[in-house]
Chains A and B, each alone.
Chain A
Amino acid sequence: MSIFQELTNRDQVFEFLAPVQSPVDVRHGPILYMEDVSVSFDGFKAINNLNLTIDDGELRCIIGPNGAGKTTMMDIITGKTRPDTGSVWFGSRHNLLTMNEPDIATLGIGRKFQKPTVFEALTVFENLELAMATDKRIFPTLTATMKPEYRERIEEVLEMIGLKDLRNAPAGILSHGQKQWLEIGMLLMQKPRLLLVDEPVAGMTEQEMERTAELLTSLAGKQSVVVVEHDMGFVRSIARKVTVLHQGSVLAEGSMDQVSNDPEVVKVYLGEEA
């Protein structure tokens, strides 16, 4: 009888049916570790000996003038661009330089693009459905059905991003700010360990910005979040630790007050804005 029960309780017999535990190993410190990373495009060093460490659960802001290499840095982490030299580790187990984009995404790195990209022909609901952390291979996707717990999860995220009433609208008709949010919602559906968010508040109203700040700060702790942003007011409102990027490498790192008083930083970046 007990053997029978064991057999019917299949998630214990077959390990692969058990709920997936994140394989990322952060026992030895940081969740993301970039060392001496360089990449050049036609001789131009977009990233130059970049060293960056993100702790598990941290919320980090990255600032820097246009062309500093912020987006390129995200391209490297997510497998879109391969660096010429250096190493990039996710936890202490996964060498990201040996993996492709879908594998990195599945492992738990989610990304929001600088220019919001959602699937415009699909509805808001379907956008979230596709992003959901499920088996993304061909046949499981072909035979997938909408389970109640999936629906619940989508509704939850719809609530969080304030698009509940637009769930059946095609994403193409959303405003710029709403698209930004939908994209953040898609990130949340992926349940990533690390979120890379490229200029999330571009094109948002003051009020939308506040809600985004709230959302991002509420995520930190459970997940690690890296935010690239231009808007200083926004950065000030969420940042605990700020990294200043300049010409492809780290110029300064510390609290917002520290870096904004750093003479080097003032010279290259804050100075030109003031």
Chain B
Amino acid sequence: MWLTRPLQERSTQIFLGVLFGALVIVSALHLFMPQDSALYVSSYTVTLLGKYLCYALLAVAVDLVWGYLGILSLGHGAFFALGGYAMGMYLMRQIGDRGVYGDPVLPDFMVFLNWQELPWYWAGFDMAWFAFIMVLLAPGILALVFGFLAFRSRVTGVYLSIITQALTFALMLAFFRNEMGFGGNNGLTDFKDILGFDLRTDATRLGLFLATGIALAIGYVICRGIVTSKLGRVSVACRDAEARTRFIGYRVERVQLFVFVVSAMLAGVAGALYVPQVGIINPSEFSPLFSIEVVVWVALGGRATLYGAVIGALLVNYAKTVFTGIMPDAWLFALGGLFVLVTVFLPKGIAGLMSRRSKKDDTDTPAAQEATA
């Protein structure tokens, strides 16, 4: 089975081992260490780590399309944000009559705008199952429509990157507007609870952190499953010699569309887990700059490795937290400098440093593993 194949693979086993190990250690240090111990992990840190894991999942999604399909998406922030908004809408409806205006149905910002009733597209978001489906469907459908149009007309390379930027920029402008019904530039915030659990308690925060870790593990295995399947090899073929792939009978645009939609959905899940942990979703997540930053994480970590994307996302965001604490204005320069340094000295990213073992892994897999399958 394509989904279980990665589980037999050394690199995936190591990745999952390290990830689950980290989840357990962080939880244990949070739960069992006395608060004054140097090893104690505060609830604040747990949530910060949860946020990093969301970014890591987003980076994995970007690496799937950029690394293996050759589509440099500079608009994945849009899928992340849409997943986030779907979750945000659910969390808004969960507030119920506990808002400032106490309206049992309408979120505060709608009361403030003198709206009389919920817009039709807010219907159903009071039900968790519906909202969670929309977390996948909203980015998935946007990717499907966008990808269908772009790939069918064979838009590739720089042009595609530019229209992905335009896409996320257009969405940002749209979501800034109050009439859109998504809270304008304030976005959605003041969440109270999720699935009945109070978002301000330590237990809920730890739970969200763990859920994010598990989502990252599942997302990684799905991507790895695609990448190690024959379809993954076809993706690489599309990336390197699109015309040739067509002439041996593959519908390149469908391969691109499938992988792109899967990637967008994973980005949506990352956004959905991000929102309850940071407590707000606003149009700045659509900012073109954010999408470019994600690509920088992947490039720094190492393209076309998946685990490199995770490493890149974690390291850069940790550096960002530290750096913005010391010199908030210099962060973008530091990121730019880091990017230049890595491109010049480590063209394969951080993962390139440790790739000797995994390279052997990669060339052996399809032939060696499928013999036993």
Q: Which A residues have a C-beta under 8 Å from some C-beta of B?
A: 78, 80, 101-102, 105-106, 110-111, 113, 117-123, 125-126, 129-131, 133, 136-138, 141-146, 151, 167-168, 170, 186, 190
CA distance A105 to B237 in the complex (A): 16
Q: Is the CB of A105 within 8 A of B229?
A: no
Interface string of B235-259 (1 = CB under 8 A from A): 0110111011111111110110010
> In the assembled complex, which residues on chain A have CB atoms less than 8 Å from the CB atom of B367?
123, 125-126, 146, 167-168
CA distance A116 to B229 in the complex (A): 25
> In the assembled complex, which residues on chain B have CB atoms less than 8 Å from the CB atom of A133?
249
> In the assembled complex, which residues on chain A have CB atoms less than 8 Å from the CB atom of B258?
138
> In the assembled complex, which residues on chain B have CB atoms less than 8 Å from the CB atom of A170?
363
Is B34 engaged at the interface, CB distance under 8 Å to the other chain? Answer: no
CA distance A129 to B367 in the complex (A): 10
- 15 A-B contact pairs sorted by A residue (CB < 8 Å): A78-B247, A101-B247, A102-B250, A102-B251, A105-B247, A110-B247, A113-B244, A117-B241, A121-B239, A141-B230, A145-B370, A146-B366, A146-B371, A167-B367, A168-B364
Interface size on B, residues (CB 8 A): 33
Q: Is the CB of B249 within 8 A of A119?
A: no
CB distance from A4 to the nearest CB of B (A): 29
By beta carbon, the residue of chain A nearest B244 is A117
> In the assembled complex, which residues on chain A have CB atoms less than 8 Å from the CB atom of B370?
145-146
CA distance A81 to B236 in the complex (A): 25
Contact of B2 among A80, A143, A146, A151 (CB under 8 A): A143
CB distance from B252 to the nearest CB of A (A): 8
Q: A118-B244, A126-B366, A136-B249 are in contact. List 19 more A-B contacts (CB 8 A).
A: A101-B247, A102-B246, A105-B249, A117-B244, A119-B236, A122-B233, A123-B363, A130-B233, A130-B237, A131-B248, A136-B251, A137-B251, A141-B234, A142-B2, A144-B229, A144-B231, A146-B366, A146-B367, A168-B367
CA distance A113 to B247 in the complex (A): 10
Is B373 engaged at the interface, CB distance under 8 Å to the other chain? Answer: yes
CA distance A138 to B232 in the complex (A): 11
> In the assembled complex, which residues on chain B have CB atoms less than 8 Å from the CB atom of A122?
233, 236-237
> In the assembled complex, which residues on chain B have CB atoms less than 8 Å from the CB atom of A105?
246-249
Given A119-B244, A136-B250, A138-B254, check contact A130 B363 (CB 8 Å): no
Is B226 engaged at the interface, CB distance under 8 Å to the other chain? Answer: yes
CB distance from A104 to the nearest CB of B (A): 8
By beta carbon, the residue of chain A nearest B229 is A142
By beta carbon, the residue of chain B nearest A127 is B237
CA distance A141 to B258 in the complex (A): 12
CB distance from A116 to the nearest CB of B (A): 10
By beta carbon, the residue of chain A nearest B1 is A143
Chain B residues touching A, majority SS: helix
> In the assembled complex, which residues on chain B have CB atoms less than 8 Å from the CB atom of A143?
1-2, 229
CA distance A170 to B233 in the complex (A): 13
CB distance from A53 to the nearest CB of B (A): 23
Q: Is the CB of A144 within 8 A of B230?
A: yes
> In the assembled complex, which residues on chain A have CB atoms less than 8 Å from the CB atom of B1?
143
Nearest 8 pairs between A and B by C-beta? A146-B370, A105-B249, A101-B246, A144-B230, A142-B231, A106-B249, A141-B231, A117-B244
By beta carbon, the residue of chain A nearest B235 is A141
CB distance from B204 to the nearest CB of A (A): 37
* Residues B320-373 near A (CB distance < 8 A): 363-364, 366-367, 370-371, 373
Given A101-B247, A146-B366, check contact A121 B230 (CB 8 Å): no
By beta carbon, the residue of chain B nearest A138 is B258
> In the assembled complex, which residues on chain A have CB atoms less than 8 Å from the CB atom of B371?
146, 151
CA distance A102 to B242 in the complex (A): 12
CA distance A125 to B364 in the complex (A): 11
Given A119-B236, A151-B371, A168-B367, check contact A141 B244 (CB 8 Å): no
Interface centre among A118, A120, A144, A170 (most CB of B within 10 A): A144
Interface string of B252-273 (1 = CB under 8 A from A): 1011001000000000000000
CA distance A78 to B258 in the complex (A): 25
Q: Is the CB of B249 within 8 A of A190?
A: yes
> In the assembled complex, which residues on chain B have CB atoms less than 8 Å from the CB atom of A141?
229-231, 234, 250, 255
CB distance from B246 to the nearest CB of A (A): 4
Given A119-B240, A129-B230, A138-B254, check contact A145 B248 (CB 8 Å): no
CA distance A170 to B367 in the complex (A): 13
CA distance A241 to B241 in the complex (A): 33
Given A105-B248, A138-B254, A170-B363, check contact A80 B243 (CB 8 Å): yes
Q: Is the CB of A121 within 8 A of B240?
A: yes
CA distance A129 to B370 in the complex (A): 12
By beta carbon, the residue of chain A nearest B251 is A102
By beta carbon, the residue of chain B nearest A111 is B247
> In the assembled complex, which residues on chain A have CB atoms less than 8 Å from the CB atom of B241?
117-120
> In the assembled complex, which residues on chain A have CB atoms less than 8 Å from the CB atom of B246?
101-102, 105
> In the assembled complex, which residues on chain B have CB atoms less than 8 Å from the CB atom of A111?
247
Given A120-B240, A121-B240, check contact A186 B248 (CB 8 Å): yes
